[in-house]
């Protein structure tokens, strides 16, 4: 399959996407990507400023004849989620993303693609250097560390933008205009554990794999399996029936991704290995039957492993298995106002075992602030029953839809010209930077749109190539009408 995007249109967008794909830019590692933006601004002679957080704002004057137009801002985030399949030899700190053209789709070789939000940033950069789009005064906003909890947007200065209109390029559904989003918060639970010397026996690794994963907001209602929940029920079955000692539990990789893989290390008499494998197979069969076509790739494997020096006390092992099996994951409530929109949810995201404690990360989302707080209280209470202490971070607001705003009406009109039909107005069950930055600029009208991207935050992420050209035409058309 082809690995170059040089032949794809619009070339002004794809050349920047190829360049960004060659730059490691995981969350909190955006310095090189930021320098790419700043170097382009310097080459074009544009004013650029960087705030204390590392966000960048570039200002471009209006094209001749549009000097009196109302200023508009174009925004995207520089970072990407770094996920890879087990066994994929990729170092996100130094390796470029390996691109693969597969028909009308662009994907990566065993890793996340970074189209979220690399294609939005690339489109903004194409507008930045365009000499043909008849736009008014523009501000380009490039934020950092969006994927870890909208950190860059949260630290973005108040009232620094002069724009009345704000165009976020981080939507992932063609033929839609996003006009609202959920707020969110991270809830991190920790429990101290007691260790003892590993007993006699062999070591076995229980491995949960093959799940689709996905974005913990926009994919939370799709019925996909959660590797941590499945591992928890498997461990409960094992600990109830076999004299196994638990050494460690690890799984998931990002707070905003549905966990695809999870692992547990056990010590057990080798003579009972067959029973362990039978229990794992039974748990796999049950879970596969429950997931059905929502997530058919589930596998639960039992593998030989190196013996650990220590294992957890029995009470700690039972508490950890129980909380993984019992903590809620998924949709809590659907919106009563917008058909098909998740209103409130929670994601059981990661678990990591250390020498003295275990840490479990979750995130809660809701478009209703009181519902978000209620979900947080629920999750905290359940963790408390299992002896975990909980702290919260990265709390950010939602974005209230305003379907009659000027920016929505203009964008809808241009969408009808480009696509021959009106867009579906949607709200997103995910955190967009519109809510955070908009709160700091009262009265600013906002909208979000983008090309078609699926399975974001997972190695299955891919972008529909034929959707990028119309997306860029929509962006240019809106800028010319504002």
Residues annotated as part of the active site: 79, 146
Task: Give the DSSP H or E segment for 247.
Answer: strand 245-251
Q: Encoding tokens for residue 250?
A: 């690890």
Q: Give the pairing type, strands 462-464 and 453-454.
A: antiparallel
Question: Do 427 and 185 meet the contact criterion of CB atoms below 8 Å apart?
Answer: no
Question: Do 13 and 472 meet the contact criterion of CB atoms below 8 Å apart?
Answer: yes
Closest CA to 51 of 150, 139, 144, 165: 144
The label of the residue with tokens 């972008």 reads 463
What is the maximum alpha-carbon separation in the chain? 83
Question: Do 427 and 147 meet the contact criterion of CB atoms below 8 Å apart?
Answer: no
Q: Give the pairing type, strands 72-77 and 165-168.
A: parallel
DSSP letter for each residue of 3-64? ---TTSSSHHHHHHHHHHHTS--BTT--HHHHHHHHHHHHHHT-EEEE-TTS-EEEEEPPPT
Cis check: omega of the bond before 233, within 30 degrees of 0: no
Show Cβ contacts of residue 172 under 8 Å, excluding neighbours closer than 6 positions.
116, 218, 450, 451, 452, 453, 454, 456
Distance CA 72, CA 274 (A): 65
Calculate the dihedral angle through the C-alpha atoms of 315, 320, 321, 326, rounding to the nearest 10 degrees.
Answer: 120
């Amino acid at each position: 399959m082809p690995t170059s995007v040089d032949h794809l249109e619009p070339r002004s967008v794809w050349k920047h996407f190829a360049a960004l794909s060659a730059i490691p830019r995981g969350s909190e590692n955006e310095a090189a990507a930021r320098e790419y933006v700043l170097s382009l601004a310097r080459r074009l002679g544009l004013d650029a400023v960087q705030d204390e957080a590392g966000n960048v704002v570039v200002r471009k004057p209006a094209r001749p004849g549009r000097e009196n137009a109302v200023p508009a801002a174009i925004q995207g985030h520089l970072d990407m989620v770094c996920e890879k399949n087990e066994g994929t030899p990729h170092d996100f700190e130094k390796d470029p993303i390996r691109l693969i053209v597969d028909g009308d789709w662009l994907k990566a070789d065993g890793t996340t693609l970074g189209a979220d939000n690399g294609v939005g940033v690339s489109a903004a950069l194409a507008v930045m250097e365009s000499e043909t789009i008849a736009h008014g005064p523009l501000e380009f906003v490039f934020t950092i560390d969006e994927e870890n909890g909208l950190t860059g947007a949260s630290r973005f200065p108040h009232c620094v933008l002069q724009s009345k209109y704000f165009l976020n390029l981080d939507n992932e559904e063609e033929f839609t205009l996003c006009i609202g989003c959920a707020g969110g918060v991270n809830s991190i639970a920790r429990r101290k554990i007691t260790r003892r010397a590993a007993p006699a026996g062999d070591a076995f690794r229980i491995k949960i794999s093959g799940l689709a994963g996905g974005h913990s907001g926009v994919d939370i209602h799709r019925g996909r399996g959660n590797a941590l929940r499945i591992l928890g029920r498997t461990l409960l079955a094992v600990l109830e029936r076999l004299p196994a000692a638990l050494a460690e539990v690890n799984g998931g990789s990002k707070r905003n991704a549905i966990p695809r893989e999870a692992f547990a290390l056990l010590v057990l008499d080798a003579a009972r290995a067959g029973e362990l494998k039978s229990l794992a197979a039974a748990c796999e069969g049950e879970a596969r039957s429950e997931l059905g076509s929502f997530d058919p790739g589930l596998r639960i494997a039992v593998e030989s492993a190196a013996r650990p020096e220590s294992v957890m006390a029995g009470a700690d092992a039972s508490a950890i298995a129980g909380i993984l099996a019992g903590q809620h994951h998924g949709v809590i409530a659907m919106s009563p106002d917008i058909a098909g929109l998740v209103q409130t949810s929670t994601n059981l995201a990661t678990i990591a075992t250390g020498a003295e404690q275990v840490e479990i990360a979750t995130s809660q989302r809701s478009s209703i602030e009181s519902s978000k707080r209620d979900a947080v209280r629920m999750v905290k209470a359940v963790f408390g029953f299992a002896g975990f202490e909980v702290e919260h971070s990265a709390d950010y607001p939602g974005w209230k839809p305003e379907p009659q705003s000027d920016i929505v009406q203009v964008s809808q009109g241009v969408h009808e010209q480009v696509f021959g039909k009106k867009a579906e107005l949607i709200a997103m069950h995910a955190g967009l930077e519109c809510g955070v930055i908009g709160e700091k600029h009262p009265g600013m009208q906002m909208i979000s749109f983008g090309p078609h991207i699926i399975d974001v935050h997972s190695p299955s992420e891919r972008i529909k190539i034929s959707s990028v050209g119309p997306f860029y035409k929509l962006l240019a058309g809106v800028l010319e009408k504002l």
